[in-house]
A and B are shown apart, each in its own frame.
Chain A
Amino acid sequence: NAGVTQTPKFRILKIGQSMTLQCTQDMNHNYMYWYRQDPGMGLKLIYYSVGAGITDKGEVPNGYNVSRSTTEDFPLRLELAAPSQTSVYFCASSYSGFVSNEKLFFGSGTQLSVL
């Protein structure tokens, strides 16, 4: 049981390049999330999905896109990388919403630098 798997672990991009951060979970979770974490700034929600084919914006969606074609996969796309997107990105999942007894399972993160 792998949980939430993110790839790559590290990446350096040049300004204007694009890339996709991969996230897959094997827990049959309905909800999946993308967060970014900047030093001392906590976790900020980029996008989330409550099921295949359904996505919605979080607090900081600009510059990113997502898709959810399967329950397992939730890739995050950066189209035109900018230095402001230098951050650590975490994918997370939960079975349902946070009414009660639901918690987030996080992937190990992707350290992205845009130079």
Chain B
Amino acid sequence: GQQVMQIPQYQHVQEGEDFTTYCNSSTTLSNIQWYKQRPGGHPVFLIQLVKSGEVKKQKRLTFQFGEAKKNSSLHITATQTTDVGTYFCAGPRAGNNRKLIWGLGTSLAVNP
């Protein structure tokens, strides 16, 4: 069945280091969304990518959507302790845009 995989599962970095998480889908996605969940909190929408090869930036965060629309990445430059949390990617299930299929997330820990 359709799957969305994220790597790595966990990442520890020193504050100021960069961080990247990768999302790979077994099928082509019409769009991909990224969410952040702080420890003990709920997922919060970060961004949506729709176009092949699209790149979007939000301050220190850079999001990319692959040319084949099957993979995506989130890169954080110069991490801060406020970046701590789990980052999820999600895309519409093939043939059913009412449901999202989720990656398992990448948990980021930042040592001050």
Identify the A interface with B (CB < 8 A): 31, 40-43, 45, 48, 50, 56, 58, 90, 92, 97-101, 103-109
Check A42/B33 contact, CB under 8 A, given A105-B45, A109-B42. Answer: no
Question: B31 within 8 Å of A by Cβ?
Answer: yes
Q: What's the nearest-Cβ distance from chain A to residue B89, in Å?
A: 10
Say which residue of A97, A105, A106, A109 sits within 8 Å of B98 (CB atoms). Answer: A97
Chain A residues with Cβ below 8 Å from B98 are 31, 48, 50, 56, 97-98
Interface stretch, picked from B57-65, B77-85, B99-107, is B99-107
A selection of 13 A-B contacts at a CB cut-off of 8 Å is: A40-B104, A41-B104, A43-B88, A48-B98, A90-B42, A90-B43, A98-B30, A99-B92, A99-B97, A104-B33, A108-B42, A109-B41, A109-B42
Identify the B interface with A (CB < 8 A): 9, 30-31, 33, 35, 41-45, 48, 50, 88, 91-92, 97-100, 102-105
Q: How far is the CA of A104 from the CA of B104 in the complex (A)?
A: 17
Main DSSP-derived SS at the A contact region: loop
Say which residue of A31, A41, A56, A104 sits within 8 Å of B45 (CB atoms). Answer: A104
> What 10 A-B pairs are tightest by C-beta distance, nearest first?
A97-B97, A42-B104, A103-B45, A106-B42, A98-B92, A97-B98, A43-B102, A98-B97, A42-B102, A106-B43
Check A103/B48 contact, CB under 8 A, given A43-B43, A98-B92. Answer: yes
Q: Do B105 and A42 touch (CB < 8 A)?
A: yes
Q: How far is the CA of A60 from the CA of B97 in the complex (A)?
A: 18
Of A40, A41, A42, A106, most buried by chain B (CB within 10 Å of CB) is A42
Q: How far is the CA of A50 from the CA of B97 in the complex (A)?
A: 11
Chain A residues with Cβ below 8 Å from B44 are 106
Q: How far is the CA of A50 from the CA of B43 in the complex (A)?
A: 21
Q: What's the nearest-Cβ distance from chain B to residue A27, in Å?
A: 13
